[in-house]
Chains A and B, each alone.
Chain A
Amino acid sequence: MSTRKYSRDHEWVLPEGESRVKVGITEHAAKALGDIVYVELPQEGDSVSAGDALAVVESVKAASDVFTPVSGTVVAVNDSLENTPEQINTEAMQSWIAVIEMSDAGELDALLDEEGYKAFCEQED
């Protein structure tokens, strides 16, 4: 079963098969950012380490880095965000930014499950 996991930087990762994950930002993050007007996407083939800036999401107010929760290689990017970045506001959990081929699937264990993430958000607010 593919269970979504969450980072403390408000990204979600959704496992796809054995070694790949989709990465996006959470509804909580999208709401905090406000109207999103631009997403700077990574490039396919980019090699990333957990904690690296993967993309930049810009709202009217400010630019925010999206950090990759896992290490690996970017194997796909969601080009549709170039023309309709606002889909992150309306459907954060469907609006994946990139697919990452993980180099260490064990990194997923450090992430929060849905319940843990909810508790984390409440604590932060």
Chain B
Amino acid sequence: MKTPLYEQHVSHNARIVDFAGWEMPIQYQGIISEHIATRRGAGLFDVSHMGEITINGPGAGAFINALVTNDISKAKAGRAVYSPLCMEDGGTVDDLLVYVLGDDNYLLVVNAANTKKDYDWVREHAPAGVMVENASRRYAQIAIQGPRALSVLAKLTKIDLDSIRYYRFVQDVTDIPGGPGLISRTGYTGEDGFEVYLPWDNAPVLWEALLEAGAPLGITPVGLGARDTLRLEAAMPLYGHELSAGITPLQAGLSRFVKFDKGDFIGRKALLAQSESGDYTRLIGLVLKDRGIPRAGYPVLSGETVIGEVTSGGQAPYLEEAIALALVPAGYTEPGKALSIGIRDRNVPAKVTALPFYKRG
């Protein structure tokens, strides 16, 4: 499958790879330069492959609140709520954003690789009268991220972007090129920025307008490669790595998005039992103290004993350190603790560090 911006990627000399069935740009100029450009200026991302599921009708809000682990019951229109979505056993179906569009009118934004699974999951659980639609091919999504994101986007719309607080959005923005658009102050990079949802076929209009408006500010198209390194520095979970059917949100350090006191939801019982037992592996950050690059799947050791596994790792382009997220048992999570990572035939010393690795100033 191709996003509506495929031709733009090709004309920017992107290297195209398959990602969850989508032909996506992994990089344009290079992952490191794109990463740095996003941290220092503004990065432009095509994330149209992300899935969108609309849920509406009487009881839609209560239905979603019984599906996801976070509490959306108090979220008014204009709020975007991050939440894991769990199975009965507490394993994670996906992590997603719930956009509250209006009364009993919601938009779920889900990981591209999970769109079909999530849609089926939501539909299977939906009560009569609640309508669920896979709207993924109606919405294109363009993210603009970095300290100059606001300045770039402000050139293209009269709405007061700075008044949109983090995890808030404005819908039906008609003056944005390619609109009407939904402008959300969200992102997956650890930077300030926006994500703009707009009609699928209109994406090139906004893309080109952003490149032109952002040229004097150094806007740079950014591929999935740097999207991954940016989110890793910011210690944001990636489904399939830090979250999966076998990894609960509590393990991934997302307990603040699991609201046991909101009433019943799928997975509540299992997650509560896990929380009360305290007996589970949990996510930590590691910084390598010697040369090497940690990768997903590498063993984490305490002394000579394997205690856990790296879920994501790599050379952090902005921090210029080799970093890793890893799952280890309780008792090994204290920042400063000395562990090691097995890299081929060596055990490379690493230190537990507080997350996130990178926090914008």
Given contacts A34-B225, A40-B344, contact A60 B32 (CB under 8 A): yes
A61: which of B31, B322, B344 is its contact (CB, 8 Å)? B31
Interface size on B, residues (CB 8 A): 17
Interface size on A, residues (CB 8 A): 13
Q: B315 contacts the other chain (Cβ, under 8 Å)?
A: yes
A60: which of B15, B225, B292, B344 is its contact (CB, 8 Å)? B225
Contact B293 A35 (CB under 8 A): no
Binary interface encoding of chain B residues 251-291 relative to chain A, with 1 for a CB under 8 A from any of its CBs, else 0: 00000000000000000000000000000000000000001
Bound-state CA distance A61–B30 (Å) is 11
- Chain B neighbourhood of A40, CB < 8 A: 292, 344
Given contacts A56-B344, A58-B293, contact A38 B31 (CB under 8 A): no
Q: A37 contacts the other chain (Cβ, under 8 Å)?
A: yes
- Chain B neighbourhood of A107, CB < 8 A: none
Given contacts A56-B344, A60-B315, contact A35 B295 (CB under 8 A): no
Question: How many A-B residue pairs lie within 8 Å, measured between CB atoms?
Answer: 37
Interface residues of B in 9-52 (CB under 8 A from A): 15, 26-27, 30-32
Contact B27 A37 (CB under 8 A): no
Binary interface encoding of chain A residues 48-89 relative to chain B, with 1 for a CB under 8 A from any of its CBs, else 0: 000000001011111100000000000000000010000000
Report B's interface with A, CB cutoff 8 A: 15, 26-27, 30-32, 225, 229, 291-293, 295, 314-315, 317, 322, 344
Give the distance to chain B from A73, nearest Cβ to Cβ, in Å: 20
Given contacts A60-B317, A82-B291, contact A35 B30 (CB under 8 A): yes
Bound-state CA distance A62–B26 (Å) is 13
Given contacts A40-B344, A56-B344, A60-B317, contact A35 B32 (CB under 8 A): yes
Question: Which residue of chain B is the closest to A62 with respect to CB atoms?
Answer: B295
Bound-state CA distance A38–B321 (Å) is 11
Q: In the complex, which of the residues A58, A61, A82 has the most CB atoms of chain B within 10 Å of its own CB atom?
A: A61
Question: Which residue of chain B is the closest to A82 with respect to CB atoms?
Answer: B291
Contact B291 A63 (CB under 8 A): no
